[in-house]
Structure 1
Amino acid sequence: MRKTALIFDSTAIIDEEIVKKYDITFVSMNVAIDGVNHRALDIDDEEFRKQFHNLKNLKSGSPSILDFEEAINAKFDEGYKEVIVLPLASGLSATFNIAVMAREGLSPERKAATYIHESNNASIGMDLLMHSLVELLDTDPTADELLAALEARAPQNRVLFEIDNLRHLFRGGRLNPLKYIIGTALKIKPLVEFKDGELKVIAQNRSRRKTMDVILGKIDDFVQNFKNVYVGLFTYDKEDNIFKAIHDIIKERWPHIRINFSKKICPVFTTHVGVDGYSVAVVSYN
């Protein structure tokens, strides 16, 4: 039995081998489709994507306090001594605060051994984060050791999405009206960045190659300042020439960077970013 258990919400996309090896638990987010609530973990990702453009009324929702309480208590019941919960970043969802409230409902002993970590991360960034922690996890670290490693990475965590349009972010309340109007008028593919708990449109170039240069420039900044750099990639279209170019340039320009491919995105994120485009995540530390 390992010392410390890890719990994520279902927006975290993590390699299945890592999930099994480190006995990771997921608490399901929710997606309301035409007024009917569904657990995100019960939604078929491929079918959801196929039907996406036919779904007129989509809303995402956080887990309940009870969902987190039950997940945390289950880990202690299994024999774990400490639990770290890594919810979706607080800047994107109420999920983090719900996890904090769930901790308050635990017994004093279990509350003292439960930690809610603000990762400043999301989606495929969580997958990348776990890949960066594998060597440490193999030593069966204490919660303090894991939290120190997480804190060393948190300020540099980035997730970028080049998406087809801003409509879904605007509809989900994740974007202000002015940005939406400008992006729609220009009819371009925007680049959205999640950084320091905030979601921002950082590029609206007519040339997708200029957007690619923005992404590569950000990666170069991390390479110049940090010894260990991980890059995660996801795309809806494996034949996208820009996505292929990003991968090839990273591999050629910075051969020491560890590249990871994620296979999917949670339906909650699909609700807000749509089903076109690609994502790049970065995790770095010294």
Structure 2
Amino acid sequence: MGKTAVLTDSTAYLDKQTLEELGIYTIPLSVIFSGKNYREEIDLSTAAFYEKLSTEEALPTTSQPAIGMFTELLQELKEEGYTDVVSVHLSTKISGTLQTALSAGEMVEGITLHGVDSEISCAPQGFLARTAAKLALEGTPPENIVAELEKIKAQIRAYFVVHDLHHLRRGGRLNSAQALIGSMLQIKPILHMEEGLIVPYAKVRTEKKAINHILDMLFDDLAAGNVNEVSVIHANNRAKAMQLKEKIAEQHPSTTIQISYFGPVIGTHLGSGSLGVSWY
């Protein structure tokens, strides 16, 4: 009988308690300020990152984990008696992290790595990792865990509004024309992930209208009884995220609503003040 571990990366932004309770392993991505490398949540907290983002002249860049971090962890897991690892990572269109994990899996004998492209990041990626861990604890075979995650991926909805399109344009995550038009016309595009890429979903005039549009879509799904869990995700804007949570809870008091956040790596691309809502 095999033993399965679950691995994700730091962009799932799972809290320490969840990681410990479910036995999820995690590998950090990094942000680079002025040539100095910081592993997110280890060398640089999310609060410190947004503080630094507001004071540094040069915008940061991001980098994926070195392959050695994966091979080292896989070796340790093998020695602990694991035969399989379900490895859930941020979209391959955003980062090469999953490819690095798969390459590491080929380098360590005696343990099989099963890669899952979440095609997204943040709270939805965390939800997939949590689901995988619960299934692994129940003794579900790794192939069945991967099949279940692929089914869930099709049911994930996630929309977000960025305060300033400059970060996405500079990072090549949104083309210059879309960013320029949005800035000039003061349009707040609602963004979402499509086939692993950040693309505009709808264009509205104000942040308030954008958020209300997202809530309308959520409330439609809630009314149809199709929602298991809601996450409100914020970039250095917890007060607004709490207001959003309360607004959802007022209309649907029995719904499980989590507050999550855009940490340093994703915050580098979205910038401070961004808000998102995701549901499953």
For 1:101 and 1:133, how far apart are their aligned partners in 2? 21
Pick closer, same or farther for the CA change 1:217–1:129 going to 2, 3 Å: farther
Query: Which of 60, 84, 104 lines up with 2:62 in the alignment?
Result: 60
Match in the other structure for 1:75? 77
Are the aligned partners of 1:35 and 1:57 in contact in 2 as well (CA < 8 Å)?
A: no
For 2:225 and 2:133, how far apart are their aligned partners in 1? 18
Match in the other structure for 1:155? 154
TM-score, with length taken from structure 1: 0.85
Match in the other structure for 1:196? 195
Match in the other structure for 1:164? 163
**What is the CA-CA distance between 1:210 and the residue it aligns to?**
2.2
Match in the other structure for 1:34? 34
Match in the other structure for 2:266? 269
What SS does structure 1 have at the residue aligned with 2:8? strand
**What is the CA-CA distance between 1:256 and the residue it aligns to?**
4.7
For 2:220 and 2:159, how far apart are their aligned partners in 1? 15
Pick closer, same or farther for the CA change 1:126–1:245 going to 2, 3 Å: same
Which segments of 5 or more consecutive residues in structure 1 lack a partner in the other structure?
A: none
Moved more, 72-81 or 202-211: 202-211
1:237-281 per-position Cα deviation (integer Å, ceiling 9, x unaligned): 3433xx45642443244445321122x432111111111132212
1:48 is aligned to 2:49: yes
For 1:255 and 1:195, how far apart are their aligned partners in 2? 30
Match in the other structure for 1:250? 248
What SS does structure 1 have at the residue aligned with 2:11? coil
1:82-115 per-position Cα deviation (integer Å, ceiling 9, x unaligned): 11111111121121222222222222x32xx220
Pick closer, same or farther for the CA change 1:142–1:220 going to 2, 3 Å: same
**What is the CA-CA distance between 1:26 and the residue it aligns to?**
1.4
Are the aligned partners of 2:229 and 2:255 in contact in 1 as well (CA < 8 Å)?
A: yes
What does 1:83-102 align with in structure 2 at a 5 Å threshold? 83-102=85-104
CA RMSD of aligned residues (A): 2.5
Q: For 2:48, give the aligned amino acid.
A: E
Pick closer, same or farther for the CA change 1:4–1:14 going to 2, 3 Å: same
Are the aligned partners of 1:99 and 1:116 in contact in 2 as well (CA < 8 Å)?
A: yes
Are the aligned partners of 1:192 and 1:201 in contact in 2 as well (CA < 8 Å)?
A: yes
For 2:91 and 2:119, how far apart are their aligned partners in 1? 5
**What is the CA-CA distance between 1:65 and the residue it aligns to?**
2.0
Q: For 1:143, give the aligned amino acid.
A: P
Q: Identical aligned pairs, as a percentage?
A: 26
What SS does structure 2 have at the residue aligned with 1:57? coil
Match in the other structure for 2:121? 122
For 1:81 and 1:96, how far apart are their aligned partners in 2? 19
Match in the other structure for 2:22? 22
**What is the CA-CA distance between 1:142 and the residue it aligns to?**
2.6
Are the aligned partners of 1:11 and 1:122 in contact in 2 as well (CA < 8 Å)?
A: yes
Q: For 2:9, give the aligned amino acid.
A: D
Are the aligned partners of 1:128 and 1:231 in contact in 2 as well (CA < 8 Å)?
A: no
For 1:244 and 1:29, how far apart are their aligned partners in 2? 27
For 1:225 and 1:117, how far apart are their aligned partners in 2? 29
For 2:130 and 2:77, how far apart are their aligned partners in 1? 22
Match in the other structure for 1:106? 108
Pick closer, same or farther for the CA change 1:59–1:135 going to 2, 3 Å: closer
**What is the CA-CA distance between 1:226 and the residue it aligns to?**
6.8
Which segments of 5 or more consecutive residues in structure 2 lack a partner in the other structure?
A: none
For 2:195 and 2:248, how far apart are their aligned partners in 1? 24
Match in the other structure for 1:13? 13
**What is the CA-CA distance between 1:175 and the residue it aligns to?**
1.0
TM-score, with length taken from structure 2: 0.87
Pick closer, same or farther for the CA change 1:226–1:155 going to 2, 3 Å: farther
